[in-house]
A and B are shown apart, each in its own frame.
Chain A
Amino acid sequence: MSAASLQVALVGNPNCGKTALFNRLTGSRQKVANYAGVTVERKAGELRTPSGQHVRLLDLPGAYSLGATSPDEAITRDVCLGLMAGETKPDLLVCVADATNLRLHLRFVLEVRALGLPMILALNMCDAAARRGILIDRAKLEAMLGVPVVETIAVRADGVGKLLDKIDGELPPLSSVATPADLHAEVRHLIASAVTMPRRTAALDDRIDRWALHPVGGLLMLSIVMFLIFQAVFSWAAPLQDGIDAGITYAAAALRSAMPDNTLRSLLVDGMLLGAGSVVVFLPQILLLFLFILVLEESGYLPRAAFLLDRLMIGAGLTGRSFIPLLSSFACAVPGIMAARTIQDPRDRLATILVAPLMTCSARLPVYALLIGAFIPERTVGGVFNLQGLVLFALYVAGIVSALAVAYVMKLVRRDKAEHSLLLELPSYRLPHVTDVLIGLWERASIFLKRVGGIILTLTVLLWFLSTYPVAPEGFVGAAIDYSYAGRIGKAMEALFAPIGFNWQICIALIPGLAAREVAVSSLATVYAVSATGDEAAGQLLPLIAAQWSLATALSLIVWYVFAPQCVSTLAVIRRETQSWKIVALATGYLFALAYGASWITFRIASALS
């Protein structure tokens, strides 16, 4: 068919389902969640219409107005106006509006119509509107607006057919209806003529919010939700973890007895199986954590939590708007730092970016879990709480508290009295679809396993080489690993880290840990497996370090991981989002200083007490 592809952009208010439509139309899997500001970047995808027309579809961040007040809204404005470098002005705009929220969304539709580009209005969430008894006279709306109007249900496989047909047809003519100066009056007129709305809000939302937003009840609920997550991550995952663990141990033993004692066996068993395997063990925990995050994100609860915590966060020099970026950082700081684009105020945004690495990302989980498993006894406290779960919870809290403290110090330093705004939309509650959650988890699992098979395995094997070569000469006194590169590097670093209790094995593991935090675990596994002497065949890492490390060393390493800027991708994204090496240096510097200081104090106190 026609060679040139049609440039189509999805625009609309936040949370109206643009990305859900984008995914449905292009078969992509971009992130969809129930709060304003999920998409913060433009994303392109391709599709072919039934008649064979090639379309390049652009998903844009949501915007309340073309008068942008935050970096993500500015992207949408620039694309619509044709000002975005590397992006031609769209041939067609698909303006998306939430059918249950037309009083707000139609105003933006009018603003977009005034741009004078061909456009289609997609009334999305027609399923939710129908459930609430909202009736929309589509034909009338179409006539009054002068642009084609189609109904869509982005969450259903067959919910976008009409939109696709409209994109496929001739480009719609520009609306001949003049846009009046008072957009709000026009919206009221449109709604009065074409929409029947039995109730302004969903009855269910009102009922839930009575509890969820209650000054006491709401906070109680929030603490229970958060606490349950950490308990669950530790206690529910255990049986699965034990299963994986047993499988790896069995495979290692089988390989060891099946192969002659040579270098290849060492590479396979010590380097690959025990090294990378030590990280795979944590898959169940990471998936459980993501299960909770996915469900929370889709439920619509997160902006409510941001509301409850806003005052507390202002006190610390942040804003309620920092809540969602910081919560995303529990998965990984990289998307968390990008999500900070939704914060209008540049100083709040910077503060959020700088403290995001203090949130306990999922890559730290294996390190914590290993150390907790080795050094904290499995015990029930107060009848119901798992002690290991409690310690993990405390570590998360430590990250949060230190983030608040750091933000507070920054607030004191900048001594800024200017007003910052919140203006946060609270969406309708939604029940997550089981299939969506399962697909989300499947994706997480495959990302994680690819990481294990890719960077983690590579670095672990590299470390195996470094700790095996050069081979110690005949008559060398001491363990063979002492003669290797890794042994020498570790010993050299030990001088710097001995004051905080790290032995040379830990020092070695810190280096590849820079590329991916989990590698610290696999590296330790490899280093210990390689250094094991002949007959005491190296088993799993956990009992090994439990026997060899002092409690003070373990605690110090845990504390190190709370703070240390041990992640190159995080530093890279800080650079990209702030366009400043100075800020990267500031972040790295303060995090290292905090890590070293806190580990030193921990090590001293723990050594003195034991």
Chain B
Amino acid sequence: MDQSLKDLKLRVEAIVDRVEDVQAADPIAARLRDLGFVAGEPVRVVARGPIGGDPLVVQIGYTRFALRRAEAARVMIRVAA
């Protein structure tokens, strides 16, 4: 089953599988790919926002980004067994 980054538990290592476009030529998805959300990249949720767990802080590569759940939902991941 596909899992998306928005549901990843805090501080669990996962691997990015792909970023899905929610619309044709999705600019947010394109930007996520530019920032390093590409297949095979290790990713981790470092923190969740105080209200409704939104936004998330995500470690990708050597960088931390704050992403909203809707953005994180585009990132499909695999959790290492």
Contact = CB atoms under 8 A, between A and B. Distances in A.
Interface of A: 64-65, 67, 69, 100-104, 107, 184, 197, 200-201, 205, 209, 213-216, 218-219, 303, 306-308, 310-312, 320, 419, 421-426
Contacts of A197: 62
B59 to A, nearest CB: 7
A421 B62 contact: no
14 contacts: A100-B62, A103-B36, A103-B61, A200-B61, A209-B57, A310-B54, A311-B50, A421-B70, A422-B67, A423-B31, A424-B65, A425-B63, A425-B65, A426-B65
A64 B35 contact: yes
A289 B35 CA distance: 35
Contacts, number: 105
A100 B63 CA distance: 9
Which secondary structure dominates chain A's binding surface? mixed
B10 to A, nearest CB: 11
Contact of B49 (A65, A100, A107, A215): A215
B48 to A, nearest CB: 7
Given A65-B34, A67-B34, 17 more contacts: A64-B34, A101-B61, A104-B35, A197-B62, A214-B47, A215-B48, A219-B50, A308-B50, A311-B52, A320-B55, A419-B70, A421-B31, A421-B68, A422-B66, A425-B63, A425-B66, A426-B65
Interface string B19-49: 0000000011011101110100100001111
Nearest to A420: B68
A419 B46 CA distance: 24
A545 B59 CA distance: 57
A311 to B, nearest CB: 4
B1 interface: no
Nearest to B42: A200
Contact of B64 (A65, A218, A426): A426
A200 B71 contact: no
Interface residues of B, number: 31
A308 B51 CA distance: 9
A320 B66 CA distance: 10
A306 B55 CA distance: 10
A423 B27 CA distance: 12
Contacts of A209: 46-47, 57, 64
Contacts of B64: 201, 205, 209, 425-426
A554 to B, nearest CB: 37
A65 B32 CA distance: 11
B18 to A, nearest CB: 12
B31 A311 contact: no
B63 A423 contact: no
Contacts of A67: 30, 34
Q: Report which residue of A214, A307, A312 has the largest number of chain B beta carbons within 10 angstroms of its beta carbon.
A: A307
Given A65-B34, A422-B71, A307 B27 contact: no
Contacts of A103: 36, 61-63
Contacts of B66: 303, 306-307, 310, 320, 422-426
Contact of A423 (B47, B62, B65): B65
Nearest to B49: A311
Contact of A421 (B46, B50, B51, B71): B71
A107 B65 contact: no
Contact of B68 (A64, A214, A303, A422): A422
Contacts of B34: 64-65, 67, 107
A201 B55 contact: no
A289 B51 CA distance: 29
A107 B51 contact: no
A556 to B, nearest CB: 36
Contacts of A421: 28, 31, 68, 70-71
Contacts of A310: 49, 54-55, 66, 68
Contacts of B30: 67
B55 A307 contact: yes
Contacts of A69: 27, 31
Contacts of B54: 310-311
Contacts of A306: 66
Q: Report which residue of B30, B55, B66 has the largest number of chain A beta carbons within 10 angstroms of its beta carbon.
A: B66
A19 B39 CA distance: 33
B50 A216 contact: yes
A205 B34 CA distance: 24
The 6 closest A-B pairs by CB, nearest first: A103-B61, A213-B47, A311-B51, A215-B50, A426-B64, A307-B66
A184 B63 CA distance: 15
Nearest to A428: B64
Contacts of A424: 65-66
